Structure formats: structure tokens, C-alpha cells
Amino acid sequence: MYPEVSVVIPVRNEAAKIKACIEGILNQSVPVKEIIVVDSGSTDGTLEILRNYPKVTVIEIPPSSFNHGETRNVGVRHATGEFVLLTVGDGKPYDNQWVQELLNGFDGPEVAGVCGQQVVSHEPGNNPLHWYRPIDAPTKTKYHYPNGAFEKLTPGEKLKACGWDDVTAMYRREVLLEIPFRFTSFAEDAIWAKDALTAGYAIVYNSAARVYHHHQESKDFVFKRTLTTIYMRYRHFGFVYPKETGKKSLRSTLSRYKQIFTTKELPLKSKIDWLKYNDEYDQAAVEANHAFHNALAEGEKVLDQLHEKYCGKPPIPVKQKVN
């Protein structure tokens, strides 16, 4: 007998990748009970593709009502399994043991959720600096702070414990109903992890539960995503990165050049393009951190205004092609 697992996937316009996502889930060693897709206005054929899968139930919501936290709650409320697995429409299981590896983390009744790892496949359109090149064996790490111990941690310790990622995460459904995702424009997963740990539950990270996932991001998007990440970590964990975070040393720059230019799968032009892309990526992240610190120095109100200006709505990656 297998545990009952419901899968919840928020999507919008994922026709290019949704088939690989769904079929990867259906081919798992542990069969899932149902796949609930919450669609917020797809117009690219995603819904037509999903109709080919009897195990998939589609819940359609208006695009204007999408929210990273509440939209996932909609799917959870429709789920009927003991466990709820969350992923995204452009993610794909690394292998057929993904569901099993997530279940392996539930080693006691105190465990509310188990989180896996995002990895990047070796494809020309994916950033070669992010390609998955495993060095160490997979690990499992449990965080548990009963009796209010979580609140006694330093901001850095809290942030480390809450590096949650609902591109690849499984939850006890009863806990998600007790502690739903918050209505938020970003970081719903990290905030949930904090809420669960504060409530006395344990959470587990199992790096063997991998999902292929990658976004090619524009410089503008990198700035916005970095800014909202820094802002949310400050607001929810009290954590502040040093102002000079992100600046590359000569050693790290040379290492980057070596890694890209020794990638045999890429032609010379692509290597040059990727070097330029990564330089712009890093510069955008540094600019976002500086903007955060400059605003914080002027006060909390100015900081909130800065975040609202750039990140008032959930940022959606702008797919940018590098040949």
C-alpha cells in the first residue's frame, strides 16, 4: 500500500514544459492519487494539453487573483491525499524516485514537510554556471525547535533553517490546513517554513529529491527578484546581507571563465554570450543590494516604498534566449 499523495501545481502558459512535468510525475515509482493544477489564465494551449491526462484536475482562477501563497492554498483545499506535493509547471522530476525520496523524509509525526533540491540540466539554453555537477552524496537534514526555541536563534540561523523551496516540497495536508501559506507576493515557502518551525513542527531537507528547473532571467528581473528576496529576508527573519555582498573577487572571476570556456558542449559564441550574461546578472544583484541598503538607511518607510515600486506584484521571469 502506498501513501496517498496529491500533487498541486500552479501554472500559467506552460505549454512548452507541462507535458514533461505531468508525465514525470505519472512515471514515479510511487503512484500519486491526483494532480491538481491551478491555472491563472493560460492562453497558449496549456489547458488543452492537460485534458489528455485523466488524473489531472484543473481549477481555473482569474489572472488578477493569482498570489504565490493563496493560489497554492486553493489547490491544497481541493486535495484529498494524506500528503500534498508542490511543484511548478516548468519543473520536471530528476528521476522516478522523486516522490519516494520526499516521503523518506517523514521519519516521525513531528515532521510537517520535506523539501528537495532544484537542479539545472545540461542544455545549451540553460546557464552553464548553474548546470548540475554533483560532488557530494545526497544528505538529509532535519530542523526542529520545540518549546519556542526557534525564536531564540540568530537571524542567520533562522534563515538557514528556512531555505524552503516549494518547487520540490511535500507536506502533511493536515498541517497545511492548519498552517496555510500566507498571502504574499514572494517567499511564501520560506515564510511557511518559519511558521511551521515556530509552531513546533519539524521540517526536513532531502537533497536526493531533485527537480529540473531553470529560468533564463532578464537583468531587470534579476534586480527585482534580488530586491524582493533581500527585503523579505529582512522583514521576516531580521537578516541583512553586507552591502558589498555579490562583488566578485579576481579568483572567482577567473574560476567562472575557466568553467565556461572548458564546457565542451557549447560553441565559442555561446561561451562569450554566457560570460556577458552572468556579468550582467551579478551586476543587477549588486545594484539591488545597494538599493536596499540605501533605502534602509533612510528609514523603514522609504524601504517599503522602494519594494512596492519594483516588486508590488509577483515578479514573473522574462525568458531571455542565449544562443
Mean pLDDT within 207-224: 94
- pLDDT reported for residue 244: 86
Q: Using one digit for the tens of pLDDT, what is the confidence trace for 61-110?
A: 999 999 999 999 999 999 999 999 999 999 999 999 999 999 999 999 99
- pLDDT reported for residue 316: 44
- pLDDT reported for residue 124: 87
In SS3 terms, the chain reads as CCCCEEEEEEECCCCCCHHHHHHHHHCCCCCCCEEEEEECCCCCCHHHHHCCCCCEEEEECCHHHCCCCHHHHHHHHHCCCCEEEECCCCCEECCCCHHHHHHHCCCCCCEEEEEEEEEECCCCCCCHHHECCCCCCCCEEEEECCCCHHHHCCHHHHHHHCCCCCCCEEEEHHHHHHCCCCCCCCCHHHHHHHHHHHCCCEEEEEEEEEEECCCCCCHHHHHHHHHHHHHHHHHHHCCCCCCCCCCCCHHHHHHHHHHHHCCCCCCHHHHHHHHHHHHHHHHHHHHHHHHHHHHHHHCHHHHHHHHHHHHCCCCCCCCCCCC
- Tell me the percentage of the chain whose pLDDT exceeds 90: 87
Instruction: Say whether pLDDT at 320 is over 50.
Output: no
What is the average pLDDT score of the chain?
Answer: 93
Q: Using one digit for the tens of pLDDT, what is the confidence trace for 221-246?
A: 999 999 999 999 999 999 999 998 87
Q: Using one digit for the tens of pLDDT, what is the confidence trace for 117-168?
A: 999 999 988 999 999 999 899 999 999 999 999 999 999 999 999 999 999 9
Which pTM value belongs to this model? 0.92
- pLDDT reported for residue 317: 43
Instruction: Say whether pLDDT at 26 is over 60.
Output: yes
- pLDDT reported for residue 322: 39
- pLDDT reported for residue 313: 54
Instruction: Say whether pLDDT at 41 is over 90.
Output: yes
Instruction: Say whether pLDDT at 321 is over 50.
Output: no
- pLDDT reported for residue 186: 87
pLDDT band with cut points at 50, 70 and 90 for residue 7: very high
pLDDT band with cut points at 50, 70 and 90 for residue 248: confident
Instruction: Say whether pLDDT at 1 is over 50.
Output: yes
